[in-house]
Each structure stands twice: as structure tokens, then as C-alpha cells.
Structure 1
Amino acid sequence: MIGKVLIANRGEIAVRIIRACREMGIETVAVYSETDRDALHTQLADEAVCIGPAPSSESYLNMQNIISATLVSGADAIHPGFGFLSENSKFAELCEQCNITFIGPKSEVIQSLGNKSEARNTMINAGVPVIPGSKDPIYDAETGAQAAAEIGYPVIVKAALGGGGKGMRVAETPEEFENSFNTAQKEAQMAFGDNTMYIEHFVQHPRHIEFQILADEHGNVIHLGERDCSIQRNHQKMIEESPSIALTPELREKMGEAAVKAAKAAHYTNAGTIEFLLEKNGNFYFMEMNTRIQVEHPVTEWVTGIDLVKEQIRIADGQPLSYKQEDVHITGHAIECRINAENPAKNFRPSPGTITDMYLPGGKGVRIDSAIYSGYTVPPYYDSMLAKLIVHAKNRSEAIKKMRSALGEVIIEGIDTNVDYQYEILNHPDFISGNIDIEFIENM
């Protein structure tokens, strides 16, 4: 039985995991960089260990220091959260070699699904619809241009490893290709330390629909319905909701079955997300699988009543799923807004600094996942997300009204945030009517 968990992360997700462990009677160990010494997760955990200087490369991405902290603290499991090392197969393998339970899938599964070319071939063999794309890894623009010509323009160049919108560029024409490829490859090398690229046909005006998966080590796989993540900027999600207004019950069942089929084909265990692009005609294509808990997991928790972090820990502990597919019911509608320290008026420039005063909303159907407090200094070294504001109501129209009300109550002073920008989106006629796709923000 897992008795002590080290959380290899920071911010709100570290706090979220600590709270789940506390409710399960599991001890927790926080890790922190020198700049995060006073961060909330270090105060809430049973123990806290400094793992290095402020830059991520020297702390939250420092595998050796994190493994050392785990061994020294006596933790028997690591929860990687999202971002940082959560989808790093080498880190998962290191945990396996040190007899530390990695709360996530096996290292070889992360490796095969993290490589977009390999994941794509797995899905083709399993009969899951995929977008036309390159079959082999691509390392130079010349080879890429040949593949793009065969696939057909427009194309999108992607980092074969990684995600989060980094290492991605669209080329509308052959003339644009070389520049798009080189820019994406440089980004990929900087973000993920790998310059392997992948090219696929660029689907125009789709929705971004993802299905939450839970899979145990006993062969049981279920899905918990979908999340619509179409509201995004530069491939970074801003608002997520469940269920999606675009899915009929028949399409939901079809996509859910494809998601379960995909997870089984990959021999997947633990929580994961199958991401699809959905065209207006109802055609959908596998895009990628995220082998970790997602930022937006609270919307699924709210409409299903299932605690995903607790399920992750139970699965990693070798226990069977607590639920069967027939136990999963979608109730009401949930929406999440990501509140970031950034200035939308200045091209979303990050806004680190000290929070001088704050008030966050509450009440029935309002949830806040955050790690900020009055007097907290937002460091410039990490992701700009401050909090996630999630609401739940009996239908989408009421959820939108509740989110507007909640956003109107948010006070965060001392730094810039995107709260007003999120409020504008919630009031946009196309968002209210559900007429959205992944290009919504660009066309606002």
C-alpha cells in the first residue's frame, strides 16, 4: 500500500494532490526550488525538500535531485502532476529502476505514446481514425517538404515529443514550409531537448474534444465523457467545458468507444486523455494521448462525481477501478477558466510580481484550484497560471451565467491577470450559442 507520496511539481496541482493524499491518509512530501520556499504546497505537505535553484532545469526538471529527495524522505511513490517531468519516459523508467511507484503509466507506454509517429501507427492498427500525416520521424526541412507535398497542404509541423503548444507551426503553402519547419524545430529543441519532428494535414476549423480515460492493471478501461477545449490561444487552452454542446449521444458513444479502444491498444494504465479533432460534419481524428492528469480535470470530476487524483493513486497501488462504464453518468454542465498572470492588452505578456490583495469567489457550484495568497510573489520562472475557476450548474446556459458571476467577484491586485479577457469570452454571442472552434480567439 502506498504510504507516502512525493509530489514532483509545484503550484495548484501540487496542492490538489496533497489534499487528495491527506483525505486518503497518505503522507506527502513537497519539493521546491529556492524561489518557491514560501509557496503554499511546501506549507501544506507533511515534509518539504529543496531540490535546487529557481530555473526549472535545475529544480523541477532535475531528475537526480527529485529521486534523491524521494529516497531520503522515504516516499514510496511519486506523483508528477502535469508539465515538468509528467510525460518524461526516462524519469518514469528511473522511478521503476529505483523501486519507486510512478503514479502514471509504465515508462515504455509513455515512450510509445509520446512519440507521435509511433502513437499514430498504434491507432491506425487499432482502427482509430487518424489525420493523414508522416509515417517516419523527420529531422530536416527538405525531407519534411517531401512529406508535406504527399500529405497535402495546409500542414502542421509538430514536435514528435512534447506538447503544450510548443514546437508547432502551420504551413499553408510549400513556400512557407521551410521557415515554419525550422522555427518549430528550434522551439522543440529548446522546450524538450529533442529535434524530432512530425508533419500532418492541418484540419481547418475543428473543435478540440478530449476524452478522459481511466485504466487499471487488471485490463479494465473506462471513459468519463468528453471535455470541449476549443477555446485556446496559440494551442494553449483557456476555457474547458463538459459536456460538449457539439456531441450528440450517438457521437459521444462512438468517440468514447474509440477512446477506450485507443487506450487498450496502447496497453495504457492510470488516468490519461485521448485528444480528438472534431470536424463540423461529425468526422473525428485522433490527435494525441496525454499520459498524465490534465489541467482541466476538475470539469470531469464535477460532472461525474469521480475524484481523478484518488483514482490515479489507487490504480498505481494495484487496485482495480472503483467504477465500471455503466456507473459513469454525466450530470449537469461544468466550465473551467484558467486565470493567468498576464496582460492580454500587451500580447499576453507574463506579469510576475507580488499579489498585494485578493479575493476569490465561492458558493454553491463554485470551485477554486489555486496556490496563491495575499502577499505571495509570483515568480517569473514558471507557467503563468495562478488559479483555475470551475463552476457547475444544471445546464450550459446556467453554467455560463454562474461563471460570469464568479469571474466578476475575482480580485487579484498587484499584478495583471486575464480575468477581464475571460469575462469578454463568456459574453461573446458565439460562445454563448456554442458556435466555437479552435480558431475562436483569433477571430474574436
Structure 2
Amino acid sequence: MHKNFYSRVNETVYDEVLDNGMKVIINPKPSFNSAYGILTVDFGSINNLIRHNDKDIQVPAGIAHFLEHKMFDKKNYDISNIFAKYGSENNAFTSFNQTSYLFSATDKIQENIDVLFDLVQKPYFDAKKIAKEQGIIDQEILMYQDEPSSRLYFDTIANLYPESPLSNDIAGSVDSIAKISEADLYNTYYQYYLAANLNFVLVGNIDVKQVINSISQKEKELNLTNKGNMEVVNQLKSEVNQQIEASKPISFNKTSMQLETPKVALGIRGPYNQISGKQFARNELAMGIFLEMIFSEDSDIYQRLYSDQVINESFGYDFDMEAGYQFIIFASDTNEPEKFYQQIMIEIKRVLNNPELIFNQFELIKNEEIGEHISMMNSVSATANQMGDKLNGYTNLFDEVDMISEMNFTEVIDFAQKFFAGSSKTINIIE
């Protein structure tokens, strides 16, 4: 077992790779009353390929999210009821790249861990229950289609990466969900839900050695070795990334939803991302700091844009950086969408050409970021969700505090200039 002590914040993180390849990360917090566990598979909505009988086959869009739902439903029971029996709350979520299953509890932690592992590693699917779930998810998809902000976000990503796995909604479509079969679910599950493609994070009031020993024993009882080939999984992920890279952005799109105030999004697609490990984490932090220096509410630029009514309280932005892609989306409600996206680009270009304009914001934003990270350490859930993954070399919340502290202004500007120099953009309007 590897131990890493972070003297700056007086925190310790333990990690171990089990015999079957699963990564376990534990951050004990003895002064807390609760614990939070999250079991994540590196498989999300963009991973739409499986290899079956030596052929690469595309499975229906939305299957990762559908699997997430169906994992709770076992042959004669719903596993959520077992979590309730042990006094815990449970949930799950699917992103473009991952699916995570979680619980939080103050008692019977080991029992809840066992239930979580049974949930993820004991699949059961049948045609009748699949048909019922298809109806439920159909309604979920249609509800999100009627939500303008959600529609704006996902449509903008689809414009940035059209006809690629990123252009599909995480939940799929009504048509794609209807195509999911029992065989699709089992084949996809056994392709991606490998022990070596899973990682388990536990944060809270726990005994580290006891938990590691119990998890190791649980995995032996489940007798789940790698029922597949991680080399194949990595090949399939690489194919997906190539599809994403090959897509050509759509420069403009307008949709009518009869809104009182139009919504506009400016999407900026960065160059193909091949960085991993600690440098990936540094780049991600650098872009976050760069954007905050320009668009935090305390910045001079934000205040001027607000006074000129270019932006308002609805303004926001999101930066997403993963293997194979990275993008920023700026969005706002406005009656002058053209003025909005033009001014955002003008300000970004002006700062990239004259970085000294935001230099006085640098130390302030760095300190704010460190403060926010330290605040997250007071939450077992926030800490657990910031313990890193394979892509960023398992850079965690505590590592990031050190990275931010040592980061300099030149590093931030250099990464931003490279990002925007190789970027393309799209404008998306809903009115």
C-alpha cells in the first residue's frame, strides 16, 4: 500500500492496486462522522464501440447511461433498498467519459461497500425490465429536450464535434434507446466493466487497513478477474478519440423554442489533446485560472462587460478537458447575441496579445482557487470526487493545492495562447 502525506493540509492518502487490477484510493478523516464511497468505471457515453467476434461494432447511443440505470435492478430486488437497509444514501451518474456509483453513510460502512461492489460487479438484465426502463429514460430525454439551458449546452458541443460520439446526448435519443437489447447490455458491460478499468475511492471515518483487507476479500469472493482485455478497451477508446478529432465544427446554428429572451452560446474547440498525467492536471488548472482572471465577477473586464450590458446575471462558462478533446462554452441570455459573442472573443484576443492587462488578477485568483480547494476538503463527497483518475495521473485535491501554489503567470498565459491559437469556434442560438 502506498502512503502519501500532505503536510500543508495535514491529509493522508493511501492507494493500492488489487490483484485483479482495481485501483483503490482512501483518504481517512477520523474527525468526521460520515464516509463517502464512489466506484467509477472509465466508460462513458462517448465509448460507443465494442469488439465482438473480432469485429468493432457500434452500440446504440446512450447505452452507458442506460447501463447505469439497469445496474440497480437485480433479478428479484432493487439494490437501492439494500442501501436503505444499511442507512445510506446512494446515487449514480454518467458523463462523457465515466460512469460512477456512490453511497454516503455514517454507519455500517463495510456493509455499504459490499453492496456497492455487488451493484457494479453483478449485472442482471432481462428483456421485460429493459422495456420498462426504455419508457422511463424516454421521458427523461424528452424533458431535457424541453429545457433550454441543457439544450443549448449539448447542442453547442454537437456543433463543435458533429457526427462524432460527442455529438450525442449522454442519455442518447428516443430512437437509440429503443434499439438497446439484452445482448447489447451484457456485451458492453463485459467489454468495459473490467476490474482494471475500475477505481474505488473512499473518504471519511474509516480504518484503512481493515477496508483494504475487506475489499480484497470481497473481490476474491466475486472471483472477478479481467474478463476481457484492457488492450482492446484502450484500442476502442483510441478509435473514438480519432472520430472526435476528425469531426469538423459547424460554425453557426439557430434553433427556435419561442423563448422570451434568446439564449446564446459561444463554443471554442481547442486543439487535439494528447497530454496525460500531472501535466494534464497542470494544464487544466492553468486554463481555469486564465478564465477566472478575465471573467470572474471581480475582474475589471467582467465589470465593464456587465456595465455595457454585454453580459448579465445569466452569464456563465464551462471548460471541459478530456482525452482527445477540450472545449470552452460561454453562454448567456441576451437580446443581442451577436454583440455577446463578438465582445467575448474581442476580450480574449486582447488579453492574449496583452497579458499584462490581467497580471494584477493573478495572485488574487490563485489565492481564491487555493481557498476553494481547502473548503472542499471539509466535505467527504467533494474530496472523493476530486481524487483524480488515470488521465490526470490520479492528481487529487491536495496535489492541486501544491500545483496552484507553484504555478506562475507565464505558464498560465502560455497554455491559453496555445489553446486559442489552435482553436475553432461555433455560435449557437436558441430563440
Same fold, TM exceeding 0.5? no
TM-score w.r.t. the length of structure 1 is 0.27
Which has the bigger relative contact order, CA under 8 A and spacing at least 6?
2
| Higher CA-based Rg | 2
TM-score w.r.t. the length of structure 2 is 0.28
| Bigger proportion of residues as helix | 2
